[in-house]
Amino acid sequence: MAAKRLTPQLIKELRQVEGPEDQDAETRSLRRSWLKKQQQNLWRWLSIPILAFILLPLGTLLLRIPPGEWLANLNLLQVREAFFLSLSTTLVTLAVTIIFGTPVAYWLARNKSIPGRILDSVIDLPTVLPPAVAGVALLLAFGRRGLMGGVFDAGGIQVVFTPLAVIMAQTFVASPYYIRAAMVGFTGIEEELKQAAALDGANNWEIFRFIAAPLAASSVFSGAVMSWARALGEFGATIIFAGNFPGRTQTMPLAIYMGFQLDLNVALTLSVTLLLISFIVLMVVKGLLHGEWR
């Protein structure tokens, strides 16, 4: 290495060269090392406020309901209905998002034109808009008297107030998270790799299947999980577009909200359940990303 990097050892050496050689050198270096440790610790100290702020409410949630009661409440009809509705709708949302989102991500990742960049921003809109805006927009577009309402009506498809509306609300709000992450993954692949594969006779699909997909796998996977988690937490668009009907459109977040007004136990049980599911999923994903995928 021609240029020396500023390692801690090097800094130490430099400082020792600079320092005047008096008899207090030892105390000085002791104080110096204490200060250095202090500096390293500084980041930990500065981390405490926000960590405490996030951990306190989440911890309080866990403490408010004893594990036994939580387990017993899991058997409540409203809790079970909300749980299974959330599970089934978010899994469909995830499948729809991957099937229809991956081509968008792959295409936009290579599209550097101005319309491509505009689309790139449009895709992100649902993540920055309040979900209530998404709900109103969906209602006005796909409602019975909405812009597209006639199309669905003609096909005999009821959208609003059905699980289909729940899935549409979730997909609208959550799919951009997947597309964004997958796009980042696809953008990171060097063109030369794909060109080399093309030279070797690989067709478009083979390039995607054997080059792009494996290389972007970790981004795609974490994007899918984040988008699923976002769908699981969807509330604002769902209550406006899909309404609130236990077992049909009342997902876990809606049941938590309604439960807060009627039966705090239902709200607490579902809150703790969502908290645990989310935590386990995040841990598993991070474990996979740092372990097998790299």
Partner 1 sequence: MKGLFRASLFALIMVFVVGCTPGTVRAISGVAGGTQDPRSAAAASSIPVHPATLTVLAAASLTEPFTEIGDEFEALHPGMTIQFNFAGSQQLSQQIAEGAPADIFASANQTQMDVAIQAGGVKPGTAHVFVHNRLVVILPKGNPGQIHSLQDLAKPGLEIILAANAVPVGQYSLEFLQKASQSPAFGPAFEADVLKNVVSYEENVQAIVTKIALGEGDAGIVYTSDVQKADSDISLTIPDALNVIASYPIAAITYSKHIDQANSLIEFILSAQGQSILEKYGFIPAAS
Residue ranges that bind partner 1, judged by CB under 8 A:
37-38, 41, 44-45, 48, 52, 55-56, 59-60, 63-64, 139-140, 143-145, 160-161, 239-240, 242-246, 249, 257-258, 260-262
- Shorter beta-carbon distance to partner 1: residue 164 or 285: 164
Query: Minimum distance from CB of 165 to partner 1 (Å)?
Result: 10
- Shorter beta-carbon distance to partner 1: residue 15 or 144: 144
- Dihedral of CA atoms 61, 63, 69, 74 in degrees, nearest 10, equals 30
- Shorter beta-carbon distance to partner 1: residue 123 or 270: 270
Cβ atoms of 185 and 218 closer than 8 Å: yes
Instruction: Give the C-alpha separation, 153 to 149, whole Å.
Output: 6
Instruction: Give the C-alpha separation, 95 to 78, whole Å.
Output: 26
Using the structure block, give the residue that is written with the tokens 């969807």: 234
Query: Minimum distance from CB of 231 to partner 1 (Å)?
Result: 20
How far separated are the first and last CA of the chain, in Å rounded?
A: 28
Backbone dihedral angles phi then psi of residue 248, each to the nearest 5 degrees: -115, -50
- Shorter beta-carbon distance to partner 1: residue 4 or 145: 145
Three-state SS at 158: coil
Instruction: Give the C-alpha separation, 47 to 249, whole Å.
Output: 40
Query: Minimum distance from CB of 37 to partner 1 (Å)?
Result: 5
- Shorter beta-carbon distance to partner 1: residue 120 or 246: 246
Burial classification of residue 259, based on how many CB atoms lie within 10 Å of its CB (0-12 exposed, 13-18 middle, 19 or more buried): buried
Burial classification of residue 82, based on how many CB atoms lie within 10 Å of its CB (0-12 exposed, 13-18 middle, 19 or more buried): buried
Cβ atoms of 104 and 123 closer than 8 Å: yes
Q: Which two tokens stand for residue 189?
A: 């692949």
Query: Minimum distance from CB of 56 to partner 1 (Å)?
Result: 6
Query: Minimum distance from CB of 258 to partner 1 (Å)?
Result: 6
- Shorter beta-carbon distance to partner 1: residue 171 or 249: 249
- Shorter beta-carbon distance to partner 1: residue 10 or 157: 157
- Dihedral of CA atoms 248, 252, 255, 261 in degrees, nearest 10, equals -160
Query: Minimum distance from CB of 227 to partner 1 (Å)?
Result: 26
Query: Minimum distance from CB of 113 to partner 1 (Å)?
Result: 38
- Shorter beta-carbon distance to partner 1: residue 100 or 279: 279
Three-state SS at 289: helix
What sign for the dihedral angle of Cα 155, 159, 160, 161? positive
Query: Minimum distance from CB of 158 to partner 1 (Å)?
Result: 8
